[in-house]
Amino acid sequence: MIDKIANSASEAISAVFDGATVMISGFGEAGSPVELIHALIDHGARDLTVVSNNTGNGHVGLAALIENRQVKKMICSFPRTADSVVFPELYCRGEIELELVPQGTLAERIRAGGAGIPAFYTPTSVNTPLAEGKELREFGGRSYILEYGLKADFALVKCRAADRYGNLLYNKTARNFGPVMCMAAECAIVQAEEIVGAGSIDPEAVVTPGIFVSRVVHIADPASENRLLKEGRRYP
């Protein structure tokens, strides 16, 4: 019987290796898999390339992973937010690399990686500094640049409900990058607030089909990053 449910977050992320590329879902705190990230901090894999829209807040979650010096490079669209302190400091000291990608290009590159598309053309960022050094080409009289598909060794994703096949439902705008990151990762590891029986999710409403998911861990009451921030928490 297919059963992708892992016993714990630490078991679920145990295969992450030094130097891996890891996609992490979330837009701000919505959809951020805090428990999986904390398990990755406990695990200790280093020299990671992390693909995530932001760089985390305060000293928990993704920011804590960066602060623990496990991340060599960030690929993201918006590395500084009101509550981000860790990444800006390391970046200004030249101790972490940054690949800045427009948000739509980032999402499309991840989807392309998952869909077997090595490269595509887009008008986004043409005539801006972010297009420098990129291949420029005209189609129908308009200029476009070539962007490459992005794949990852692992994705860490938060969702609302999952079944043993790895079929997923998300919650509102916490869906954001989760579905495309599951597609683009060799091994997508998901934390779900609820584990439901096979057949409980309406097949018409499945957002991420199980084929894109390798492991699921049940985190019934995930931490609110906002609350951790307000409480001034740190991890570890």
Q: Which of residues 96-135 bind a second copy (CB under 8 A)?
A: 108, 112, 115-123
The residue among 31 and 58 lying less far from another protein, judged by its C-beta, is 31
Any contact of residue 118 with another protein (CB under 8 A)? no
Which of 122, 145, 123, 125 has its CA nearest to residue 134? Answer: 145
**Binding residues for another protein restricted to 131-160, rule: CB under 8 A:** none
- Residue 179's binding partner among another protein, a second copy, none (Cβ under 5 to 8 angstroms by kind) is another protein
Using DSSP's 3-state secondary structure scheme, residue 225 falls into helix
Most distant pair of Cα atoms in the chain: their distance: 55
Pairwise CA distance, residues 115 & 118, whole Å: 9
Question: How many residues line the site for a second copy (CB under 8 A)?
Answer: 24
- Beta pairing class for 48-51 and 97-100: unpaired
Contact pick of 86, 170, 187, 228 for another protein (by CB under 8 A): 170
What does 183 bind: another protein, a second copy, none (CB cut-off 5 to 8 Å by kind)? another protein
Interior CA angle at 119 toward 114 and 124, to 5°? 105
Q: Are strands 136-139 and 168-169 parallel, antiparallel or unpaired?
A: unpaired
- Residue 211 touches a second copy, criterion: CB under 8 A: no
In DSSP terms, 71 is beta-bridged to 48
- The residue from 130, 134, 195, 233 that contacts another protein (CB under 8 A) is 130
Q: Tell me which residues touch a second copy (CB under 8 A).
A: 108, 112, 115-123, 139-140, 142, 144, 148, 169-172, 202, 204-205, 207
